[in-house]
Amino acid sequence: MKTVDELSPVITEENINRRVAEIGSAITREYQDKDLVIIGILKGAFIFMADLVRKIDLPIEVDFVRLQSYGSGMESSGQVTITKDVELSLKDKHVLIVEDIVDTGYTLKYLKEVLSLHETASVKICCLIDKKERRKVDIEVEYVGFEIEKGFLVGYGLDYDEQYRQLPGIFHLTPRYEAKGFVPSER
C-alpha cells in the first residue's frame, strides 16, 4: 500500500514559462506563411500544448491523438496503436506533433510515419522533456523544452497513476511503499 510520495523539484514554473515562450517564438518564425496544424498527444501534452499555442503568433489549427503502446510492466515493446485519430485534413499542411516526454522514441516514430501518410507538407516534433539516453529508435525532435537524463517525472501534464498532472513545475517522483520500496522505472 502506498504511503508517501516524495517530490523533488527539477524545473520551476518560471523556467517552463520562459522556455515555452522561446519555443513559441521559434515556431512562429519557422512557420510564417505556412498552414500549420498542431497535434497534441493525449493526455500528457495537453498543458504544455495549451501554453505553447498561446505563444505562437500565427493562424493555426489544433487537433489531438491518443496512442496506446503495449509492453510488459513499464517498458514499451514498440507496438503502438492509435485510439483517437486526427479529425482535421492534413493534406499539404505542416504538422507539428506536441508531446510531453520523449524517451524510447517508439511512439513518435510510429505517429510521424502515420501522419506522413496524410500527404502532409512536413511533420516535425516538439516536446517538453527529452530523455535522449533512453532512445531506442532514431527520431529527430526539432523543438525541445528541456533535456533531463534520469528520474521519473511528474507535473505540468506528466503523471503517475493519473496524479500530479496539475503541478505547475516538473518534479522527480519517488513513491514510497510499505512493501519492498518500489520505485517506478523511467519512462
* pLDDT (tens digit per residue) in 93-141: 999 999 999 989 999 999 999 999 999 999 999 999 999 888 899 999 9
Structural domain total, the chain: 1
Residue 169 belongs to some domain of the structure: no
pTM over 0.75: yes
Residue 168 belongs to some domain of the structure: no
Half-sphere exposure of 133 (CA within 13 A, CB side): 6
Q: Provide the pLDDT confidence category of residue 174 given band limits of 50, 70 and 90.
A: confident
Question: Considering the chain, what is the average pLDDT of its residues?
Answer: 89
How much is the pLDDT for 4? Answer: 55
Residue 47 belongs to some domain of the structure: yes
3-60 pLDDT, tens digit per residue, is 457 899 999 999 999 999 999 999 999 999 999 999 999 999 999 999 999 999 999 9
Distance CA 109, CA 172 (A): 26
Residue in this structure with the C-alpha cell 527520431, named with its chain if needed: 139
84-104 pLDDT, tens digit per residue, is 989 999 999 999 999 999 989
Q: H helices within 1-136, ranges in order?
A: 13-30, 46-53, 106-116
32-47 pLDDT, tens digit per residue, is 999 999 999 999 999 9
51 given a catalytic annotation: no
The answer to whether 104 and 77 are in contact (CB under 8 A) is: no
- Which residue out of 5, 35, 51, 103 is catalytically annotated? 103
- How many of the other CB atoms lie within 10 Å of CB of 85? 12
Residue 75 belongs to some domain of the structure: yes
Residue 88 belongs to what domain range? 13-151
How much is the pLDDT for 75? Answer: 53
How much is the pLDDT for 6? Answer: 87
